[in-house]
A and B are shown apart, each in its own frame.
Chain A
């Protein structure tokens, strides 16, 4: 057996159902206290991964290890996993307090200790005043906090969050992000945070694991994925507005991010302005060039030259194989 680092390790984790591979040989390590965002388009296997880690579904191949200990065949209740579902899964028939208490009761925690721990967590999340409300009487954000509180009470060895903020509006999501990080990350437990929102992934996670079609595309810090994408999918999934892909000779594609294009009177590409989107301090320009349509992000103050041409720095060039999408050396 290989010696493993502390933390969570997924080895060749796979799930096959009715002849379809929902997850295909996922290798991933999450260090204690580290928060890894599982990112990818809808249906790529993010929830599947979480359910395998939690033990809610059986893995068809591969292993789940925690601090070197193989959890693959353990019952979900024995894994000490806390999971927050996208729906929050609050028990509708119980008050906030009842929701927090049920798990403790089930595990046989004595009443006095239950009370003390619930009080502490209600304080921490400022939920005290909602203690006796039913889930139906809470706002979306409040429900999310209750679900979080319930997960924390589990004293988990692994924290799994499945799109915990997708039901909240954009503003609330941004507000809650630091709080979530403060509560969950940097402790003892490895955290896997599922999202399909790259901004949230960048904001929350230490590293991002990008999935597509049940396969891991790349894992690394947000910056690594942005600057050095492993393939065309990673390059286009990360970064908004999306990267421009220009067809080049020898069945190659040149990727240039909109923010890296320079608008001026000189440069290799001539362009014509189609439309302008104003983004506050920036503007997005929709251009037509010989190589097809292009997006360009520039300062809101930038003026449009009479004969606009586009240029860029060599180091920003990303080259891909036009057929496989594989990254090519420049």
Chain B
């Protein structure tokens, strides 16, 4: 497609905005990652060749965090999609007080992450939290939910799922509502069971919504920061540290902006590659949305 002059002019503001909010920081990170800019340079950027990238490649902690971040993101997003679908199907039923129920479902999503994470940290506190109080009242000893790597990881995922599942559910609910009722009715008349309808009709038609939720949530989960910072602080023993938290520590605690930019950019590249692959896969599954009616 060729851009006419007027069209290009009309697109200019959007283009400028894109450059300003997206491209500029990226270029800036790229530039900064080729510099040392830390307390040892008095925070002034001094070119250091590829030293930051060299350090990144050798940085065991970066790769460990990358693995932990990916594992966290994939598990959270998978559970959110499955759970969100379940909630969406439930909320799609013609139930009494459905509106209230939908509003209630949104509550965790509306809660600030920091507050939510503090809440979970309190619930899981050993030995003062209510979960351990419940354990003790059953005669069991307290359990260090946040001092055992496996359970800490599990509850970080759970907290994330708890918080963001409403969003996924609402997105999928919008998808369900966009499916004309007569499609399902036609299939019901053919004698299809609920499961068959779900598998053969509802899910295929939800693919665009599922993929939107997937890409969106994956991008968010790969950048997970506040939840981890508040709930676990990256612990125990760094076993839940995410790439964003590592980048944040490098920037705000260590004042090592050159390396922080390198970690940030590497995280972004990782994310871009993942999302790119995901998008390509999903594009092939894209479908026409016409059910009939006027052409």
Contact = CB atoms under 8 A, between A and B. Distances in A.
- CB–CB under 8 A between A and B in the complex? yes
A77 B288 contact: no
A91 B287 CA distance: 11
A149 interface: no
A85 interface: yes
Interface residues of A, number: 35
Contacts of B188: 56, 76-77
B288 A135 contact: yes
Interface in B174-222: 180, 182-183, 185-192, 196, 200-201, 204-205, 207
A196 B204 CA distance: 35
A125 to B, nearest CB: 15
Interface residues of B, number: 26
Interface stretch (A99-107, A247-255, A283-291): A99-107
Contacts of A139: 295
Given A106-B196, A143-B292, A56 B185 contact: yes
B294 interface: yes
B100 interface: no
A78 B191 contact: yes
Contacts, number: 101
B233 to A, nearest CB: 46
Interface in A135-158: 135-140, 143, 147, 150, 154
A106 B291 contact: no
Task: Tell which of A76, A92, A103, A154 has the most Cβ of chain B within 10 Å.
Answer: A92
B293 to A, nearest CB: 5
Interface in A92-151: 92-93, 102-103, 105-107, 134-140, 143, 147, 150
A88 B293 CA distance: 6
A83 interface: yes
Contacts of B290: 90, 92, 134-136
B186 A106 contact: no
Interface of B: 180, 182-183, 185-192, 196, 200-201, 204-205, 207, 287-295
Given A77-B188, A106-B187, A134-B290, 13 more contacts: A54-B189, A56-B185, A56-B188, A89-B182, A103-B190, A103-B192, A106-B190, A106-B192, A135-B291, A135-B292, A143-B293, A154-B190, A167-B293
Interface of A: 54, 56, 76-79, 81-83, 85-93, 102-103, 105-107, 134-140, 143, 147, 150, 154, 167
10 contacts: A56-B189, A77-B192, A88-B293, A91-B187, A92-B290, A92-B291, A134-B288, A140-B295, A150-B186, A154-B190
